[in-house]
Amino acid sequence: MHLHKYEKIWLTLGIASLIVFLSVVGVSAFSQNHTPAGGMETIDPKKVNETAPFDNPGVTQLDDDTYQATIVAMAFGYNAPELRVPVGKEVIFKVTSTDVVHSFTIDNTKVNMMVVPGRITTKSYTFEKPGTYLILCNEYCGTGHHMMYTEIEVYEE
């Protein structure tokens, strides 16, 4: 196969650009210790309901200004009893899945996480306004996906 001089030049530039790009991404990821969003904690998806804190999902107060919301995502729903948190307090969401990949998105906030079986996804958020916020799954998880939602109530103390 005969390549024209300009084809060789463009191929060389393209391959060199690809090598530089991949090197920059690889070096920055490993040198800065990047991990997947939400952390690296693992859990046995078959024993989620037996493993703390997922054996008792819901909201718990950790200290005066911090709450933890523990939630289990499963086919077509979230296992979390009444979710109520005060406005202006930090809420640490700990979410896992028992079956397939889900998403945990709180409408009109910056909370948007992938929920993967075998992983514990963590995100911290402080609600600035009281109200009822819709929690949705944005990852198609089966035929009942459109019914997978819950709400969190943010109230004034």
pLDDT at 35: 64
CB atoms within 10 A of CB 21: 10
Give the residues across from 134 on adjacent strands.
Answer: 151
Q: What is the DSSP string of 6-17?
A: HHHHHHHHHHHH
Q: Which DSSP symbol is given to 129?
A: S
Which pLDDT band holds residue 83 (cuts at 50, 70, 90)? very high
Identify the band that residue 80 occupies on the pLDDT scale cut at 50, 70 and 90: confident
The answer to whether the peptide bond before residue 53 is cis (omega within 30 degrees of 0) is yes
Q: What is the pLDDT of residue 60?
A: 93
Q: In the chain, pLDDT over 90 holds for what percent of residues?
A: 59
Give the whole-angstrom CA distance, residue 80 versus residue 32: 35
At 15 the three-state DSSP class reads helix
Task: Provide the pLDDT confidence category of residue 85 given band limits of 50, 70 and 90.
Answer: very high
Measured CA to CA, the distance from residue 141 to residue 76 in angstroms comes to: 8
Residue pLDDT, tens place only, 19-57: 999 999 888 877 877 666 666 788 998 998 898 899 989
Per-residue pLDDT, 1? 75
| Dist. CA 80–CA 77, nearest whole Å | 9
**Prediction pTM value:** 0.76
pLDDT tens profile 126-143: 999 999 999 999 888 888
For the chain, the maximum distance between any two Cα atoms, rounded to a whole number of angstroms, is 76
Are 45 and 97 within 8 A, CB to CB?
Answer: yes
